[in-house]
């Protein structure tokens, strides 16, 4: 074998050995370990990122749940402009009341009587501007010609007949900005004269006189006020001859001793024009010329004139946590024909006040009123059945059932004097009252 051939054999053998010889184990292990560690690091980092993402998702879900459960915050409502066509409604106030009454009357030497009666009233007050307002009210009532001036009761009888509705109030009010405390009224108005304890010695609570009146309140310091009222009213208009009228003026002082204690005292003058010699006032509304309700009369006309002086007082305080008021009223007719029948007086008290459900009020008064002490057409229509010439007690208890609903029980224990043979007169009234 030549040298050249020998070299080729050795080179070929070396080539074959190099090709078939495996790589060193240590090198292979090193490469594999690096790959595995790198893979483990990448997997660990991925798991960390996944855990962070899951935690972030859980936080977002919890916040969303709290947001969903929390009530939405109410946005302040924007006041909507009232259309011009409806602006009048914001200046009008509607009010009213309803009363159902069961009444029992027992007059000695007469047959006892029981009856059911209703009273319904609906009123409206309208503000014209800063100084003027208007008032209207309609009410039930009885009367053959027009409505009884001192009663808005309607007896349930006459075979389910329809019941009349009368105009009870219709007036204009003026409250001038240039004189604070002054109020003027004209039309058919509420009685402007103050009545201690809301007593009915001279004026029935349902009376709404017709004419004009001024009422003025003047503070005389922090604890004292002077109150004045005056008016002229048209009782009856005659097509021929003088009209019958009423003129009145009143003044009283109220002094606050220390809350809630106060004392009040005042006086009134009432003068009727052209009433002597006139026919019964009841003839104007009930077509009954013979009913004078106790006033002296002869030949179907009044025999006395009426100029009244009234003195009154009231004291209010609190006893055992309850408001209490005591009051007295006295009236004298200085021009009565019979001087033995010219005076009337009343004393009374009120304990507690009806305000809210569960509250109550008790009232009591005793009066003695002679035949010509006042014009009998206009004082209480319940005491001795209405009018003058009687004496006796009145007891009343009122209980508030729920808001704006109350019940009341009233008892008149009276006796006629100078009329109806001086017999006893008892009247019991059970009322259910609802107002809005």
pLDDT at 32 (0 to 100): 44
**Which range of residues forms the domain containing residue 359?**
123-386
Q: What CA–CA distance (Å, rounded) separates 252 from 327?
A: 14
Instruction: Work out the number of other CB atoms within 10 angstroms of the CB of residue 101.
Output: 19
Token duo for residue 84 = 């011009």
Q: Identify the three-state secondary structure at position 115.
A: strand
**What percent of the chain shows pLDDT beyond 90?**
75
Residues 119 and 142 sit within 8 Å (Cβ to Cβ): no
Does the residue 60 lie in any domain? no
Per-residue pLDDT at 315? 98
Task: Note whether residue 96 is domain-resident.
Answer: no
In a domain, 407, yes or no: no
Q: Does residue 423 lie within any of the structural domains?
A: no
For 317-372, what is each residue's pLDDT tens digit?
Answer: 999 999 999 999 999 999 999 999 999 999 999 999 999 999 999 999 999 999 99
Backbone torsions φ then ψ of 51, nearest 5 degrees = -65, -40
The pLDDT assigned to 6 comes to: 40
DSSP per-residue letters across 48-70:
HHHHHHHHHHHHHHHHHHHHHHS
Beta-carbon contacts of 19 under 8 Å, excluding residues fewer than 6 positions away, are none
- Within-domain flag for 428: no
What pLDDT, on the 0 to 100 scale, is given for residue 23?
Answer: 44
Residue 286 lies in a domain: yes
Rg, Å, the chain Cα set: 47
3-state secondary structure 186-255: EEECCCCCCCHHHCCCCCCCCCCCEEEEEEEEEECCCCEEEEEEEEEEEEECCCCCCCEEEEEEEEEEEE
On whether residue 113 sits in a domain, the answer given is no
Identify how many contiguous H helices and E strands the chain contains and give both numbers. 3, 19
Question: What is the C-alpha separation between 25 and 217, in angstroms, rounded?
Answer: 121
Report the domain count for the chain. 1
The tens digit of pLDDT for each residue in 72-93 reads 555 555 556 777 777 778 899 9
Distance CA(382)–CA(359), nearest Å, equals: 25
Task: Report yes or no: 252 and 267 within 8 Å, Cβ to Cβ.
Answer: yes
**157 within a domain of the structure (yes/no):** yes
Phi, psi of 33, rounded to the nearest 5 degrees: -65, -40
Q: Which of the residues in the chain have pLDDT under 50?
A: 3, 6-7, 9-11, 13-32
Omega before 260 within 30 of 0, i.e. cis? yes
> Would you state the pLDDT for residue 52?
73
């Amino acid at each position: 074998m030549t040298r050249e051939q020998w070299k080729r054999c050795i080179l070929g053998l070396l080539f074959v050995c190099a090709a078939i010889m495996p790589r060193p184990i240590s090198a292979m292990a090193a490469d594999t370990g690096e790959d595995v560690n790198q893979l483990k690091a990448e997997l660990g980092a991925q798991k960390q990122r996944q855990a962070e993402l899951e935690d972030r998702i859980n936080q977002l879900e919890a916040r969303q749940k709290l947001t969903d459960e929390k009530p939405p915050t109410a946005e302040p409502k924007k006041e909507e402009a009232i259309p011009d066509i409806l602006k009048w409604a914001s200046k009008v106030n509607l009010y009213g009341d309803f009363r159902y009454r069961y009444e029992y009357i027992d007059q000695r030497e007469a047959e006892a009587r029981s009856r059911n009666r209703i009273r319904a009233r609906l009123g409206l007050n309208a503000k014209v501007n800063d100084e003027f307002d208007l008032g209207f009210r309609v009410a039930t009532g009885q009367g053959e010609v027009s409505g009884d001036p001192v009663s808005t009761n309607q007896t349930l009888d006459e075979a389910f007949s329809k019941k009349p509705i009368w105009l009870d109030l219709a007036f204009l009010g003026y409250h001038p900005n240039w004189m604070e405390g002054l109020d003027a009224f004209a039309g058919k108005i509420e009685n402007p004269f103050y009545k201690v304890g809301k007593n009915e010695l001279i004026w029935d609570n349902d009376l709404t006189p017709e004419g004009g009146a001024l009422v003025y309140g003047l503070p005389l310091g922090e604890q004292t006020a002077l109150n004045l009222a005056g008016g002229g009213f048209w009782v009856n208009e005659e097509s021929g001859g003088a009209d019958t009228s009423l003129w009145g003026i009143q003044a009283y002082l109220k002094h606050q001793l220390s809350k809630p204690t106060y004392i009040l005292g005042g006086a009134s003058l009432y003068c009727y024009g052209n009433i002597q010699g006139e026919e019964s006032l009841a003839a104007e509304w009930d077509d009954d010329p013979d009913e004078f309700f106790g006033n002296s009369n002869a030949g179907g006309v009044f025999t006395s004139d009426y100029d009244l002086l009234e003195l009154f007082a009231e004291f209010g305080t609190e006893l055992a946590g309850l408001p209490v008021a005591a009051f007295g009223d006295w009236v004298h007719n200085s021009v009565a024909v019979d001087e033995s029948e010219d005076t009337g007086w009343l004393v009374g008290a009120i304990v507690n006040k009806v305000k809210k459900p569960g509250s109550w009020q008790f009232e009591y008064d005793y009066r003695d009123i002679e035949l010509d002490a006042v014009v009998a057409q206009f004082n209480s229509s319940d005491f001795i059945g209405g009018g003058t010439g009687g004496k006796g007690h009145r007891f009343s208890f009122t209980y508030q059932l729920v808001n704006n609903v109350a019940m009341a029980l009233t008892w008149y224990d009276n006796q006629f004097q100078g009329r109806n043979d001086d017999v006893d007169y008892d009247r019991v009234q059970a009322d259910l009252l609802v107002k809005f």
